[in-house]
Amino acid sequence: MREEEGQKYIKIIGRAKEVINVGGEKVLPQEIEGILLKMPYIQDCLVYGESNAITGQSVSAKVVLDAKVLFSNLELKKQIRIFCKDKLAAFKIPTKVEIVESLAMSERFKKLRLIGGGIIE
C-alpha cells in the first residue's frame, strides 16, 4: 500500500495463482524474472513453480539465451546462482533451469505459465 497526497493506493503485482510456495515462503515469479532479465545474455525468461516432495514447490525457470551465447543447462544454472546470490534469498533462486528457443505465448502475447498442472495466461 502506498500513500500519496492523503490518498492510499494498492499496487497489484501479480495473481495469487502464480505465487510459488517454497516451504511456506511466498515467491512472486515476476520478481525473479526481473532479476534474471538483468543478466546480459538472457533475452527472456519464464519463472514458475514445480512440485517438490520436501518443500511443496520449487522455483524453476525457462530461459531464452542470446544467440551468441552457448551454455549447457548446468553452466547456466551455475551462472544464475552466482548472479542471484546477493540479490535474492536462497529459496528464491531457481533450482531447475531449462534453456529454450522461445517461450509459449497466448493470443494476447502473454507468457503461458504452468500452475498446478494446468496452464494460465
**Dihedral sign computed on CA atoms, order 117, 29, 72, 69:** positive
Q: How far, in Å, are 2, 22, 103 from residue 43 at the CA level?
A: 32, 26, 11
Which of 50, 47, 69, 66 has the alpha carbon at shortest distance from 58? 50
Res 110: pLDDT: 79
The confidence score (pLDDT) of residue 57 equals 92
Which residue has cell 512472486? 28
Per-residue pLDDT of the chain (121 residues; tens, 9 = 90+): 667 777 777 666 556 677 888 999 999 999 999 999 999 999 999 999 998 899 889 999 999 999 888 888 899 999 999 999 999 999 999 999 999 998 888 888 777 766 544 445 5
pLDDT recorded at residue 118? 42
Give the integer Cα–Cα distance in Å for 72 and 47: 18
